[in-house]
Amino acid sequence: MDPIRRKILKAGAAATAMAAAPRVFTQQTGQGGALKFYEKGPVRIAYQEAGSGFPLLLIAGGGLNSRMAGLITSPFNPIEEFKGEYRCIFADLRNANAGQSSGPLEIDRPWDSHTDDHLGLLDHLGVDKFMVLGFCIGGPFIWNLLKRAPDRVVAAVPAQPVGFRPEMPNVLYEGSMTGWGPELVKRRTDITMEMVEKYLTRMYRTNPDFVFTVTRDFVRKCQTPVLILPDDVPAHPYAVAMECAMLAPKAEVSIYPWKEPKERIPLAVRQIRSFLRAHRPASA
């Protein structure tokens, strides 16, 4: 089988497994606290917390279907790994299918609307400075957080980050048009596929490049410590992850591959733990 096709099928199987995860995350894992909601105008974000200590925002993979349940189907469970040292905060992405967060489809500012939700939730919880660990789509979200709130993000870990792949320029757009949009339209009578198409075009096809949310020049000037865990499937280009690692002046990079064989995953987790400890404020 063609290696690219094998990777696409593997990614699809992972997305299917994530979608099949139970809707009620608390009952599934017992790792988060009670399900809570943060509301601002028409936006309603479902979130949970686990552990105590310096705040660590966790962003699940799964593209626009990113939700809390996705954290337990990640290569490692970050809640279980880090709740002993950090106040882990995690939420369903706005309008993720099978999630419990909802809000308008902001066609002209798709990335920023989600960053509004991340920062708004942290404000709601009284969190000023924080660390962030994000999988998949969490990569572009992390770079946007670094752009929008550079004085608040102490350190960041993009794991298997999403990026633009020139040889497959429509992979993210097409995946969301088939795997996210139709289900959203079924349950939201105020949203049409025409709106979804415009939203995804703005998100993934309007000046697509690099990590979508920031420029190479921004990464080159970014002074926030970043630990990058590269991947290499269609939606997670190795070349983009490594370019970020080379450009960012305070970047580190994990071993690669770090997910296979599975015996390597604990080594990657140890590296993340050491990185977070090294950059956690002394007073925390």
> Given the structure tokens 């490049």, which residue do they identify?
209
pTM of the model: 0.89
Query: CB-based burial of residue 190 (10 Å sphere; 0-12 exposed, 13-18 middle, 19+ buried)?
Result: exposed
- Residue 138, Cα to own-chain centre: how many angstroms? 2
pLDDT of residue 31: 52
Considering only CA atoms, which of 111, 109, 163, 153 is closest in space to residue 133?
A: 153
> Given the structure tokens 């757009």, which residue do they identify?
173
What number is the average pLDDT over the span 226-237? 97
Query: CB-based burial of residue 139 (10 Å sphere; 0-12 exposed, 13-18 middle, 19+ buried)?
Result: buried
- Is the separation of the CB atoms in 37 and 268 below 8 Å? no
What number is the average pLDDT over the span 182-199? 97
pLDDT of residue 15: 43
Residues 202 and 83: their CA atoms lie apart, in Å, by 36
pLDDT grade for 283, boundaries at 50, 70 and 90: confident
Percent of the chain with pLDDT over 70: 88
- How high is the mean pLDDT of the chain? 91
What number is the average pLDDT over the span 208-213? 97
What number is the average pLDDT over the span 238-260? 98
